[in-house]
Amino acid sequence: MSWIELAAAVLSALGVWLTALRQPWCWPIGLVSVLVYALVFVDAKLYSDALLQGAFAVMIVYGWTRWLRHLDDGGRVRIANLVVPDAALHLALGVVGALALGYAMQRWTDASLPWLDAALAAFSLVAQWWQARRHVAAWLLWIVVDVIYVGIYVYKELLITAVLYAGFLVLAALGLRAWRKAAAGTEAA
């Protein structure tokens, strides 16, 4: 399945790069990439990651429609503030989701790394929610999640995906810088 993994990786990288640039085209490209990656993760028995791709597909449609309603004059999405109580609630929901999914994967499947995979899936959903809601903090959470994913994918010998997630770290750092700059410009205006 390495050619399918490569295609998914290229599409994913393009989608994240466009997200860092605040371009709405990131969403349809991301949608195709998550559908292809679902196949890769089922084959690797990373079932939480496979389920995550389905959840991402739903959130991508939501994010795409939301971003299209919040574009600036240059066609880029406007950044929105994330308040501390909302961030705390979302992170708490991530913990609950991680525990519930980890338990289910441990108990009822032959999933590889069920608890860690479930935790990363849950917090990836939080990061994706923040991305759809246009919050700079999404990039910080993506950095944490992606560091751990690199290790998992090396361990599972999904080397193309491991390299992709290392690239995501670079893109997340660039996205964080660009979104912070855009947010600062929004506050100044």
Q: What ranges do the domains of the chain cover?
A: 2-188
**pLDDT at position 168:** 93
Q: What is the pTM of this model?
A: 0.88
Q: Note the pLDDT tens digit of each residue in 35-91.
A: 999 998 898 888 878 888 999 899 999 999 999 999 998 899 999 999 999 999 999
Q: Could you give the CA distance from residue 173 to residue 157 in angstroms, rounded to a whole number?
A: 25
Non-local CB neighbours of 10 within 8 Å, separated by 6+ positions: none
Q: Could you give the CA distance from residue 174 to residue 17 in angstroms, rounded to a whole number?
A: 9
**pLDDT at position 187:** 58
CB 27 within 8 A of CB 63: yes
**pLDDT at position 171:** 94
The average confidence (pLDDT) of the chain is 92
Q: What one-character-per-residue DSSP string does 105-147 give?
A: HHHHS--SSHHHHHHHHHHHHHHHHHHHTT-THHHHHHHHHHH
